[in-house]
Chain A
C-alpha cells in the first residue's frame, strides 16, 4: 500500500525544550490511524508539524511521497490534507452555512474570485448542503456559529475539516469534553466521513480509539514507542508500562 503521510526522524524544539524527539511514522493510504499517549507527550505538536502550523527543527514530512517540509498550511491543505483543532477553531460571527462554504470554496477552484456571485455557484451550494446534512446541521444553517452548543461546534469543526474533500484528515481530540451519547454520535460521524480516506486521530477515549483505529501509535515523551494493530498494542509490554497501565487515564 502507498503511504499517505510519512514522517522521517522528525524533531521539534522550542528553545531548549525538545517536544518531538525523532519521530518516524508511515501512515498508509486509507487507514484509520490513532495517536495516543499521556498529556504533554507532544501529540498536538505532531499535528501542528504535519499540517504546517509549526516548522520542524529537523527531519522531513512527506505527503503522498512529496516532500512538504516547510510549506505553509494553505499549501499543504491544497495538497489534500485537512485538520481539525483541539480547541474549537471556527468563524464565530459567520453563519454555520458560511463556515462550511468557506471551507468548500478552494476545493471547487474558485480561489480569490472577485467577479462571480457566490450565491450563484451551484457546485459550492450543493457541496455545502451535502456537508451540512452529513454533520446533521442542515436545520442550523443560518445560525451564527458562535452561539451553537459545544457539541454542535465540535461537529461544525469536523464539517469544516472535511468540507474541502481532503483525502487525509487529521482530527485532534474530536470527542473531548463530550457526553457519552454525544461521543457516540461523533464517532459515527467520524466513521462516516473518513470512509475511503486516510484518518489520523488524536484521542484520549480508549473506547473510541480501539473501536475506530486500524493501527495505533503510542507517543510518549516525544517518541513513538510502538505502532501496531489495536490488539497487539493492548498486549504490548512497553505500552502497558508507559501508558495504559498508568492510573488516571481513561
Chain B
C-alpha cells in the first residue's frame, strides 16, 4: 500500500519535473527572437486559459468578460512597476506578478459578488455587461488606463536579482515559464480539493448541491474569485512581457480569445486549455504570415471544432488514448492502422482546403485590392503569384474544392472502418 502510494506520487511529481525540464530546454532548441516571443505569449495564454476553464469547464460558468481581470491586473502591474522604480523600493521583477494576482483576486471578489448570484444565462449576460462597463470606463478614466497609449513601463528599472535586469527576452521567458509552471500546478491541485470537486458538482447539478449542504452561489463565488486571481497573474505577465498595458487588454477580443483557446483545446479535460492556448497563440502569430484575413480562418477552425470535435483537441487525444492498452505491439499496430487511414483521408482534405483558401483569397483580392491589379501573391508568397483576371485559377480552385470534398467523404469511410476495427480489436483483447 505505502509502496503503491509512493510510486503513485512519484509518477505524479514526475510529470511536473518533466514539464520543468521541457520549459528549461525549450529556448535552447527554439532560440530565435520570434520563437521566444511566441513561447512567452503561449505561457501567458496557458495561465489565462486555465483560469478561464476554472469557470467554464470546472464550474459550468460561461463568462464573456474574463479579460476584465486579466486587463485590470495588467494596469495595476504597470502602475506598480512604475511606482516601485520611482521610489526605489527593493522588490524585484519576479515578485511583481503577485501584485497582479492580488489585483485579479480583488476585482474577482468585487465583481463576483454581483455576478455569481445567478448561474447559467444570467451569469453569462452579467459577465458581458461588466466587461462592457470596464472597457468603456477604460476610455474615460485616463489617469488609470492612460487613454489611447495605455500605461507603459520599464521592467529593467526594478531591483536586480543576481545581476539579471530582465531586459533580454530570454530572461523574461524564464520568468514567465516559472510562473506558468507554478500556476498550472496550483490550478491542477485546486481541482483535487473538496472545493474543486464541489465546483464539478455545481456544474452538473447546482440544485442538488443545495441539498447536500453546499451553497452553489458561494461555490461559484470562490471559483470566480480564484479564476480572477490566476487571470490577474496572466495579465501581469503580459504587462511585464511587452512593458505596456493597453485598453485592449480588458476588451471583448481578449475575452473572446480566451474562450476560443479553452474551447479549441477542450474544456472537459485539465490539459485541454493548455493545448488550446498553445495552438491559438501559434495560429494567431503564424497565420498572419500567410494571409491578411487570418481571423476568418481562425473563425472557421473554431466552428469546425464545435461541430465535429465538441470536446476539442484534448477530447480527440483521449479518444485515441483508449487504444493505448494491452500489449505494446497491439497498441502500436492499432494506432498505426488508424494513422494510415488518416493519411489517406488527409490527402483529399488538404486539396479541399487548398481550393477553399484559394477561392477565399482571390475573392478578397478582387474585392479589396483593385488598386494592386490582378496579380496576387497567394499565401503572401511571391513564388505563388496568381492572375485573378484569368479564369484558370478560379476553375482550378472550384475543382479542387468540390473534388476534394467528395473524395474526402469517400476516404472518410476508410477512417470510420479503421476506427471500428480498432474498437472491435480492443473488445476482443479486453474480454
Smallest distance from the beta carbon of A89 to chain B beta carbons, Å? 5
Whether A114 and B226, one on each chain, are in contact in the complex, defined by CB atoms closer than 8 angstroms, is yes
Smallest distance from the beta carbon of A114 to chain B beta carbons, Å? 4
List the A side residues contacting B364 at CB < 8 Å: none
Whether B218 and A77, one on each chain, are in contact in the complex, defined by CB atoms closer than 8 angstroms, is no
- A90 in the interface, Cβ–Cβ < 8 Å? yes
Whether B189 and A117, one on each chain, are in contact in the complex, defined by CB atoms closer than 8 angstroms, is yes
Q: Which of A85, A92, A118, A119 has the most CB of B within 10 A?
A: A118
Whether B190 and A114, one on each chain, are in contact in the complex, defined by CB atoms closer than 8 angstroms, is yes
- A91 in the interface, Cβ–Cβ < 8 Å? yes
Partner of B205, one of A83, A89, A101, A119: A89
B97-105, B115-123, B193-201 - the one binding chain A = B193-201
A24-32, A103-111, A217-225 - the one binding chain B = A103-111
Whether A73 and B204, one on each chain, are in contact in the complex, defined by CB atoms closer than 8 angstroms, is no
A102-B211 in contact given A113-B194, A116-B194, A121-B194 (Cβ < 8 Å): no
A117-B192 in contact given A94-B201, A94-B204, A101-B197 (Cβ < 8 Å): yes
B305-324 residues at the A interface, CB under 8 angstroms: none
Whether A77 and B222, one on each chain, are in contact in the complex, defined by CB atoms closer than 8 angstroms, is no
- A69 in the interface, Cβ–Cβ < 8 Å? no
- B212 in the interface, Cβ–Cβ < 8 Å? yes
A34-93 residues at the B interface, CB under 8 angstroms: 51-52, 72-74, 77-78, 82-83, 85, 89-93
Whether B208 and A112, one on each chain, are in contact in the complex, defined by CB atoms closer than 8 angstroms, is no
A111-B205 in contact given A72-B210, A103-B212 (Cβ < 8 Å): no
Whether A90 and B208, one on each chain, are in contact in the complex, defined by CB atoms closer than 8 angstroms, is yes
Whether B213 and A77, one on each chain, are in contact in the complex, defined by CB atoms closer than 8 angstroms, is yes
Whether A118 and B193, one on each chain, are in contact in the complex, defined by CB atoms closer than 8 angstroms, is yes
Whether B213 and A74, one on each chain, are in contact in the complex, defined by CB atoms closer than 8 angstroms, is yes
List the B side residues contacting A174 at CB < 8 Å: none
Task: Provide the bound-state CA to CA distance between A78 and B213, in Å.
Answer: 5
- A160 in the interface, Cβ–Cβ < 8 Å? yes
- B401 in the interface, Cβ–Cβ < 8 Å? no
Task: Provide the bound-state CA to CA distance between A107 and B422, in Å.
Answer: 46
A112-B222 in contact given A73-B211, A89-B205, A102-B198 (Cβ < 8 Å): yes
Q: Which of A83, A94, A160 has the most CB of B within 10 A?
A: A94
Whether A160 and B193, one on each chain, are in contact in the complex, defined by CB atoms closer than 8 angstroms, is no
A106-B214 in contact given A118-B192, A118-B197 (Cβ < 8 Å): yes
Task: Provide the bound-state CA to CA distance between A168 and B354, in Å.
Answer: 67
Whether A105 and B204, one on each chain, are in contact in the complex, defined by CB atoms closer than 8 angstroms, is no
Whether B192 and A74, one on each chain, are in contact in the complex, defined by CB atoms closer than 8 angstroms, is no
Task: Provide the bound-state CA to CA distance between A155 and B200, in Å.
Answer: 21
Task: Provide the bound-state CA to CA distance between A113 and B214, in Å.
Answer: 12
Smallest distance from the beta carbon of A155 to chain B beta carbons, Å? 16
Task: Provide the bound-state CA to CA distance between A78 and B215, in Å.
Answer: 11
Smallest distance from the beta carbon of B231 to chain A beta carbons, Å? 17
A98-B212 in contact given A91-B205, A92-B205 (Cβ < 8 Å): no
List the A side residues contacting B219 at CB < 8 Å: 112
Whether A160 and B192, one on each chain, are in contact in the complex, defined by CB atoms closer than 8 angstroms, is no
Smallest distance from the beta carbon of B332 to chain A beta carbons, Å? 27
Chain B interface (Cβ within 8 Å of chain A)? 189-190, 192-198, 200-201, 204-205, 207-215, 218-219, 222, 226
Chain A interface (Cβ within 8 Å of chain B)? 51-52, 72-74, 77-78, 82-83, 85, 89-94, 98, 101-103, 105-107, 110-119, 121, 124, 160, 163-164
**Can you list 28 A-B pairs, Cβ within 8 angstroms, ordered by A?**
A52-B210, A72-B215, A74-B211, A74-B213, A82-B212, A89-B211, A90-B205, A91-B201, A91-B205, A94-B204, A98-B200, A98-B201, A102-B198, A103-B212, A111-B194, A112-B214, A112-B222, A113-B193, A113-B194, A114-B190, A114-B193, A114-B195, A114-B226, A117-B189, A118-B192, A124-B194, A160-B212, A164-B212
Top-8 shortest CB links A-B:
A106-B213, A114-B195, A91-B204, A73-B210, A103-B212, A110-B194, A77-B213, A102-B201
